[in-house]
Chain A
Amino acid sequence: MYKYDQYDQAMVDARVEEFRDQTRRRIAGHMNDDQFKPLRLKNGLYLQLHAYMLRVAIPYGTFNAVQMRKLAHIARTYDRGYGHFTTRQNIQYNWIKLEQAPDILAELATVEMHAIQTSGESIRNVSADQYAGAAADEIIDPRPWAETIRQMTNFMPEFSYLPRKFKIAVIASKVDRAALRWHDFALRIVRNEAGEIGFEVYAGGGMGRTPFIAHKIRDFLPTTQIFSYLQAVLRVWNRNARRDNIHKQRMKILVHELGQEEFSRQVEEAFTHFLSLGQDFPQAEYDRIAAYFTPPPFEQGLSEDLDLSDPAFAAWVRLQTVAHQAPGYAIANISLKPVGGIPGDISADQMDRVADLAERFSFGEIRATHAQNLVLPHVRKIDLPALWQELRAVGLADANLDLVTDIIACPGLDYCSLANARSIPVAQKIAERFADLERQEDIGELKIKISGCINACGHHHAGNIGILGVDKKGTENYQLLLGGSGDEETSQAKITGPGFDEDGVVNALERAVDHYRAVRQPGERFIDTYRRVGMDGFKEAIYV
């Protein structure tokens, strides 16, 4: 993975000291909160329902055992013994004290981590396929490009005061594991007929109160022109964005209002200009970055055989492991969705244990997924039994990847100052209702995503079943949505009808699942059945 050079380290260290001074002046009363708020947000520090919340960047979801141990240390020393993995492959802490925030940032800097651009009107953490560098189906490892984009966009003045936040994703496979088309700007690495590597470019996606699926605006962009192209996109947005209305400032609104054709025309015009400036970096610079992502020294001639006589282990292998590009290896997913638990939460002790296991079994590498789980990307198949036993010992061996209990949920009204309703208790009740693994496997792939407000941090628009919490005259109310997807056949979920209370929405969801089981055809996932039969039958089942 990428290693900081002296410039990276100097920039991050300087930023820590700058924020330490800003914090000191705020506490001393030399700044009021209106003045301080944009400064703390630039360093990932929010004020939430109960305390300050710090969001730490995990670029493209890749980190290592040393960094995980530091995250555990921060959870234990400065927070309340746990952290929460988010839907942007980041981690956040819920109980931060302002006076300690600079010390935390200083600790993060010692392991090449920071919280820069995890908030505010900036280019946020670039996300990527969590299996990058390990997936059997990728063309190349997309992370060098994600890192290149990170370096291009961090601290750049033109990108520091954008109309709103801007989210980028990069993948390199046909299968989309990163919800590509729900991003403002997204790249899929492809190979053209001449065998050259380039980007298929998408723009104008996003969730929130006005969801849009990104349009493809280019079939093939030569990789070394990415800086000019991204500048062109941001220039067109910066020039035309509705800065008078916060709800219309995201680029998705501009793409929608201009139309894909006109937006693309303006981008191509600006692109021609930027290309003429000759600012794109040379191939050698990309090669320098790519060298950090050289695959680890995989062993040759490993056995592919596994003793699956233990049904619990067999289920874990079946559900939590994925094909690896190296023979004899597997990608092992670690569920952070125990039944009755809080999606994405992990204790400091568990973090330490995952760090140990990463070092023992996965070359020290860990990945965070946008579905709020973790991944050990490079595990020898012969080590899977030992890994499973170790995970079981710390409560991390649940087998439910992409099943009905693998629920994405935002922190909701339990933690978030923007939320209108709680998300976590709904996720817990659904998980408890469907806890039986045999039933879960019979239902098959079913992605449930829950948001506690229209900002959609829980990705409800992309849920096969989405749940949106709203405030109905001071009480929590939940709308049920069906038909969303974040995969390569991206679709936006539609509201079924009137909302429910907390127990009511769990019951309604179960009726939707039962209807799917009644009408599905062999081999169909929930989303396939929904797309085939449409909303009407589900509505009849839900609103009996």
Chain B
Amino acid sequence: MKVLTGNDLKTGAVTWWDGVQWSLHVEDAVDVGDHADAIMAREQAAQRVNGPYAIDAEKTADGVRPAHIKDRIRALGPTVRPDLTLKPADPEIGNWVI
């Protein structure tokens, strides 16, 4: 699947296109198929996202998993600071990145 990611303009936070708006949670990301360029152009023009790009991902039992480690780290947070990830309560969450 193809998903869209970028950064929030004001906060810089990593965001994912959920089909309607930009979400902080990768599991909300939807397959944009062939519409990536059109969505990115529209959202960037409306200042709703900074530097969006399309990536490959797969739908797993645990949700959407970006194909590349860099995007998995973007989705989770720094692997060396589990207290700062989006799911700090899950001690195993770091394994999802590798």
Q: Which of B29-37, B57-65, B75-83 lies at the interface with chain A?
A: B75-83
Kindly state the separation between the CA atoms of A474 and B77 in the bound complex, as whole angstroms: 18
**Could you tell me how many residues of chain B have their Cβ less than 8 Å away from some Cβ of chain A?**
23
Instruction: List the A side residues contacting B69 at CB < 8 Å.
Output: 413, 474-476
Q: A33-B50, A47-B50 are in contact. Are A414 and B12 (CB under 8 A)?
A: no
Which residues of the partner chain A approach B12 to less than 8 Å between Cβ atoms? 47-48, 50-52, 96-98
Measured between beta carbons, the chain A residues less than 8 angstroms from B14 are 49-50
In the complex, A128 has a CB within 8 A of chain B:
no
B95 contact set on A, CB distance < 8 A: none
B70 (CB) vs chain A CBs: closest residue: A413
A414 and B67 contact, Cβ closer than 8 Å, known pairs A50-B14, A52-B12: no
Interface residue from A47, A428, A476 paired with B7 (Cβ < 8 Å): A47
Question: Is B87 interfacial (CB-CB < 8 Å)?
Answer: no
Q: Counting CB contacts under 8 A, is A301 at the interface? A: no
A462 interfacial by beta-carbon distance below 8 Å: no
Contact A51 B78 (CB under 8 A): no
A422: Cβ under 8 A from any B Cβ: yes
Binary flags per residue of A473-492, CB closer than 8 Å to B gives 1, else 0: 01110000000000000000
A415 to B84, CA, bound (A): 12
CB distance from A217 to the nearest CB of B (A): 40
Please give, as numbers and ranges, the residues of chain A lying within 8 Å of B78 by CB-CB distance: 50, 94, 414-415, 424
Give which listed residue, A33, A99, A413, A474, contacts B67 with CB less than 8 A: A474
Q: Is A27 an interface residue (CB 8 A)?
A: yes
> Which DSSP category, helix, strand, loop or mixed, fits chain A's interface?
mixed
Inside 8 A of A96's CB, which chain B residues have their CB?
A: 12
Query: Is B42 at the interface (CB under 8 A from chain A)?
Result: no
A99 CA / B73 CA spacing, docked (Å): 24
Interface residues in B1-55 by Cβ distance below 8 A to A read: 7, 9-14, 44, 47, 50-51
A residues in contact with B70, CB < 8 Å = 49, 413, 419
Nearest Cβ distance between residue A240 and chain B, in whole angstroms?
A: 34
Most buried by A among B44, B73, B74: B73
For A475, the chain B residues whose CB sits under 8 A away are 69
Smallest beta-carbon distance B32→chain A, Å: 21
Interface residues of A, Cβ cutoff 8 Å to B: 26-27, 29, 32-33, 47-52, 80, 94-99, 342, 413-415, 419, 422, 424-425, 428, 474-476
User: Which B residues lie at the A interface, using CB under 8 A?
Assistant: 7, 9-14, 44, 47, 50-51, 67-70, 73-74, 77-81, 84
> Assuming A50-B78, A97-B10, A474-B69, what are 20 further A-B pairs, CB within 8 angstroms?
A29-B47, A32-B44, A47-B7, A50-B12, A51-B7, A51-B12, A80-B84, A96-B12, A97-B12, A98-B9, A99-B10, A99-B11, A342-B81, A414-B78, A414-B79, A425-B79, A428-B80, A474-B68, A475-B69, A476-B69
Give 17 A-B contacts (CB < 8 Å), ordered by A residue: A33-B51, A49-B73, A50-B14, A50-B77, A51-B11, A51-B12, A94-B78, A95-B84, A97-B12, A98-B10, A413-B73, A414-B79, A414-B80, A422-B73, A422-B79, A475-B69, A476-B69
